[in-house]
Amino acid sequence: MRIVACLKQVPEDARFDRASNTVVREERKQMLNPADSYALALALAIKDRLGAEVTALTMGKPFAAKMLPAAAALGADRLFCVSDPAFGGSDTFATASILSRAIRHIGGADLVLCGRRAIDGETGQVGPELAVMLDMPCLTNVARLESVSEARIECGRLLEDRWEIHSAGFPCLLTCCDGVEGIAYPRMGSIATMRRALEIPVTTLSLHDLSGDFEGNLDDGSGDAFVFGRQGSPTRVRKTAVHEEQPRAGVLLTSPESGAAAIAEAVRLVLEEQAP
Ligand code: FAD
């Protein structure tokens, strides 16, 4: 089974460039998007049970590649970073278009695993868009692995007030919550795994690589146009604003007596207000 885990590098503290309305991405303050670590954990759990080739795929600035060896140390077999100045400013549609081309370029997948949402953009659109572009069924909000075989995967979807159990055949795409039950969170591998990880190269894919397959005409036969970068993005972030919390005046109650009296007075005032 070929599994691709889509891993996004996100800023530890979100700051915006007000001129371009984009997230400021500095190399020193980046981390793996939390939900994506569970996408990777799920991929590795399936590899443990069935045997699978796990590919870690990211798109971002060249320094995004630096987080990939950690995925190899946990057990990923192949590492790809899609990076090209032409991809800068991509919205979710363009991001999904680029990732779908990359997945086709590296040989396709039986199972694609994404996070439910990235903590910087927070749209949660990339996974479902990617599923459409790869022509795969999509299960979102996966928070529990029920069972998996060579033919099917059964998962629990966590909704606001209930669980839903779904099953899908392969190929399919799942988006994972910040936590997936039924799997062990991967620990650093054995010395042998770590040695092997050091030998796994990070392959960078550029616009040229993703379009070169198709004689430069950007058509891979899927019928979808290849869109990327700001020019190819149908949406624009017009404005960003920081939500300022208004601090509420607190009341310090220093003894049970004064606390009880203050609460009794508050209740009396509410009852008085409500009295006809
Ligand atoms: P999500 O859709 O939340 O990501 C879900 C999952 O997809 C991730 O967990 C990961 O598994 C995978 N994934 C996503 N990006 C990557 C990647 N680069 N590499 C590997 N895997 C990945 N774009 C819009 O189209 N509409 C908007 O309304 C919009 N609003 C934005 C608002 C702000 C303030 C900012 C800064 C950006 C906004 N964008 C918007 C742009 C959007 O953030 C980017 O397109 C981003 O790269 C992908 O969207 P996301 O972060 O919301 O990802």
The CA distance from 54 to 74, in Å, is 11
The CA distance from 55 to 103, in Å, is 10
**How high is the pLDDT of residue 216?**
45
Q: Residues 46-56: pLDDT tens digits?
A: 999 999 999 99
Q: When comparing pLDDT for 184 and 134, which is higher?
A: 134
**How high is the pLDDT of residue 253?**
84
Q: How far is the CA of 90 from the centre of ligand 1 (A)?
A: 9
Q: How far is the CA of 125 from the centre of ligand 1 (A)?
A: 7
The CA distance from 43 to 20, in Å, is 36
Q: How far is the CA of 271 from the centre of ligand 1 (A)?
A: 48
**How high is the pLDDT of residue 217?**
47
Q: Residues 22-39: pLDDT tens digits?
A: 777 776 688 999 999 999
Give the residues surrounding ligand 1 with Cβ less than 6 Å away: 6-8, 22-23, 33, 35-36, 39, 58-60, 90-93, 95, 114-115, 117-118, 120-127, 235, 237, 240
In eight-state DSSP terms, residue 219 is -
Asked if residue 101 lies in contact with residue 226, where contact means CB atoms within 8 angstroms, the answer is yes
Asked if residue 42 lies in contact with residue 59, where contact means CB atoms within 8 angstroms, the answer is no
Q: Residues 211-223: pLDDT tens digits?
A: 865 444 455 556 6
Q: Is the pLDDT of residue 135 over 70?
A: yes
Amino acid in position 28: R
Closest by Cα among 56, 60, 50 to 75: 56
Amino acid in position 147: S
Q: Residues 223-238: pLDDT tens digits?
A: 678 999 999 999 988 8
Record the pTM: 0.86
Residue whose CA lies nearest to ligand 1 atom number 41:
91
Backbone angles phi, psi at 245, to 5 degrees: -75, 130
Least confident span in 59-63, 216-220, 251-255: 216-220
Asked if residue 176 lies in contact with residue 34, where contact means CB atoms within 8 angstroms, the answer is no
Q: Residues 166-222: pLDDT tens digits?
A: 999 999 999 999 999 999 887 777 788 788 888 999 999 999 999 865 444 455 556
Q: Is the pLDDT of residue 67 over 90?
A: yes
Q: Is the pLDDT of residue 248 over 90?
A: no
Asked if residue 94 lies in contact with residue 72, where contact means CB atoms within 8 angstroms, the answer is no
Contacts for 273 with CB less than 8 Å, ≥ 6 apart:
none
Is the four-CA dihedral 175, 75, 84, 132 of positive or negative sign?
Answer: negative
**How high is the pLDDT of residue 225?**
85
Best mutation site among 37, 95, 240 for ligand 1 pocket (most ligand atoms within 8 Å of CB): 95
Mean pLDDT of 118-129: 95
The CA distance from 13 to 120, in Å, is 9
**How high is the pLDDT of residue 219?**
55
**How high is the pLDDT of residue 186?**
76
